[in-house]
Amino acid sequence: MNDKSFVFCLAPTRLLLKVTLQKCHGQLIPATSMNSSNTNNAMSPSPNPVYIVTGASRGYGLAIVKELLLISPQAHILGTARSADKLAAVQAELGGADRFDYVAGDITDESVAKAIVDKAVARWGRIDGVVHNAGILDPMDHISKIPISFFRQILDVNVTSVLQLTQLALPHLRTSPLGLGRLVLISSGAATNAYHGWTAYCTSKAALNMLAKCLAVEEPKVVTVALRPGVLDTDMQQHIRDNGKGKLEDGTYEYFVKAHQEGSLVDPHVSGHVAAQLLVKAGKELSGQFVDWKGDEVKEFQKK
């Protein structure tokens, strides 16, 4: 490890922060970390809501960030993903660090999860909601051939990291000045439908739905919703078109290719609007539910 650490004082909070420079995509990135005991002594909270969005560098996560700022223009957002360059570009586009700040790193890394929560609390003094959107699809392969190490990795990214970040954010979500904290877990139709070649992905999303149900049972001060976002026009679909032939059933593969050719993939902003509205307004009656972005349960949250 050639990481370097140092301590500095973050004005105006006067909190001592330990900054670790870590390698990420070949670059040294400052990943802020702070003792969790410090997090509850932060500055007086911002009067405006504070939201965390994972996988905010591109695709659905970035669309959710932008929809969130349209719905709640005063909100502060802490975005995260591995690509520091993309997150820096998003920050510049959205008008600076008070609207959108970020932590670059792998969401499965516990120190990254801590840095995300610590940075949000050090900067704005509260956390009102988290969108758990970062996700991966591979390995696409027949069940008999899935490398176990890849199976472990997809569960780590799509499920375990969600629990890890949630655990760290829960003390703040429970005490949200909004009266309820909110979690939106980006799930998939694959959570309830088995597809050839997608055993790992389907299993991870089914587990995510159950995690949402369990959170709803055990955390009454937090509304947790699992959202099916539709077949989105993002890099993930491009990846399926490029790599899915021979891995998925022919009919499924052709369905995705045709949807792209016909322009019927879902615009991430249109579906992302529903995710953002759920983060801001979802009521307790939705907690633990798995909802479709086009479903009647979320009609009031769809783009008009």
Ligand X SMILES: NC(=O)c1ccc[n+]([C@@H]2O[C@H](COP(=O)([O-])OP(=O)(O)OC[C@H]3O[C@@H](n4cnc5c(N)ncnc54)[C@H](OP(=O)(O)O)[C@@H]3O)[C@@H](O)[C@H]2O)c1
Report, as residue numbers or ranges, the catalytic residues.
187, 201, 205
Q: Show the tokens assigned to 149.
A: 């190490």
Identify which of residues 107 and 122 has a Cβ nearer to ligand X in the complex.
Answer: 107
**For residue 242, which phi and psi values (nearest 5 degrees)?**
-75, -30
Q: CB of 43: closest distance to ligand X in angstroms?
A: 28
Q: Which residues contact 153 (CB under 8 A, 6 or more apart)?
A: 108, 136
Q: CB of 55: closest distance to ligand X in angstroms?
A: 3
Q: Show the tokens assigned to 211.
A: 């995690």
Identify which of residues 93 and 235 has a Cβ nearer to ligand X in the complex.
Answer: 235
Q: Are the C-beta atoms of residues 92 and 102 closer than 8 Å to each other?
A: no
Identify which of residues 51 and 60 has a Cβ nearer to ligand X in the complex.
Answer: 60
Handedness of CA 205, 207, 208, 213 (dihedral sign): positive
Q: CB of 254: closest distance to ligand X in angstroms?
A: 16
Residues that bind ligand X (CB under 6 A): 55, 57-61, 81-83, 86, 106-108, 133-136, 157, 186, 188, 229, 231-232, 234-237
**CA torsion, points 264, 270, 188, 300, in degrees to nearest 10?**
-130
Instruction: List residues bridging with 80 in a β-sheet.
Output: 54, 103
Residue 98 CB-density burial (10 A; 0-12 exposed, 13-18 middle, 19+ buried): middle
Instruction: List residues bridging with 5 in a β-sheet.
Output: 20
Q: Are the C-beta atoms of residues 146 and 200 closer than 8 Å to each other?
A: yes
Length of the chain: 304
Q: Which residues contact 95 (CB under 8 A, 6 or more apart)?
A: none
Identify which of residues 236 and 257 has a Cβ nearer to ligand X in the complex.
Answer: 236
Q: Are the C-beta atoms of residues 232 and 58 closer than 8 Å to each other?
A: no
Q: CB of 59: closest distance to ligand X in angstroms?
A: 2
Q: CB of 81: closest distance to ligand X in angstroms?
A: 3
Q: Show the tokens assigned to 45.
A: 């909270």
Identify which of residues 77 and 134 has a Cβ nearer to ligand X in the complex.
Answer: 134
Q: CB of 245: closest distance to ligand X in angstroms?
A: 17
Q: How many CB atoms lie within 10 A of CB 21?
A: 15
Nearest to 32 by CA among 56, 16, 53: 16
Identify which of residues 20 and 188 has a Cβ nearer to ligand X in the complex.
Answer: 188
Instruction: List residues bridging with 32 in a β-sheet.
Output: 19
